[in-house]
Amino acid sequence: MQLRKATMTDFDQIITILKDGANQLAEHGVDQWQGDYPSHDQIKEDIKNGWAYLAVSDDHETVGAIAIVDGPDHVYDNLNGKWLCDTDNYVVIHRVAIKSEHAGKGYATQLLNSVINKIRQSDKVDSIRIDTHEDNKAMQHLINKMGFTQVGKLHGAYRPDETSYVYELKK
């Protein structure tokens, strides 16, 4: 699995991948990404800041998208919990999606492994943070499998009355 930094020419492809991801969540009864998040403006900001990546399989096919956002991330300002590392030197994994035609083939695991390995090469990062909707059991399973520790909850960070579980992995 390779990570390729996205450019504005990739914008439509990223939007398509994320909409496909939202549809997959809806099919599984998960209310995550069913509103205006992630928005077009958010994806443009991800690209502009160098946070947006495409996941490219070993056979050179784009299979997913992800954002690796530099901290501090103000989404976490109202965390109900306690971080493993009290630091602003962290990155956040956001907006992870694998195309539905590639779901169930291990690409999400490969993608997160690639991201974690890439981040661990940086000496400017103390930890990696990620969150997911309380009903997104598949993502919770993947996050736990990758060695993250649940450190708390967010209420209403993305939409009113929505709860997300928050995780951290020490680098």
Q: What pLDDT does residue 35 have?
A: 81
pTM of this prediction? Answer: 0.94
Residues 12-25: b if buried by 16+ CB within 10 A, e if exposed: eebbebbebbbebb
Q: Tell me, what's the pLDDT at 107?
A: 96
Q: What is the pLDDT of residue 134?
A: 96
Dihedral through CA 72, CA 98, CA 110, CA 39, nearest 10? -10
**Edge to edge, what strands does the sheet with 90-98 contain?**
2-5, 52-56, 62-70, 90-98, 127-133, 163-170, 149-155, 80-81
User: What pLDDT sits at residue 62?
Assistant: 96
- pLDDT at residue 37, as a whole number: 86
Q: For each successive 10 residues of the chain (171 residues), what is the average pLDDT?
A: 96 97 95 90 98 95 96 93 95 97 94 94 94 96 98 92 96 85
CA torsion 162→152→141→21, rounded to 10°? 30
Q: What is the pLDDT of residue 160?
A: 86
Give me the phi and psi of 154, to 5 degrees please.
Answer: -120, 135
pLDDT of residue 95: 97
> Residue 36's pLDDT is what?
84
pLDDT of residue 30: 93
CB 98 within 8 A of CB 171: no
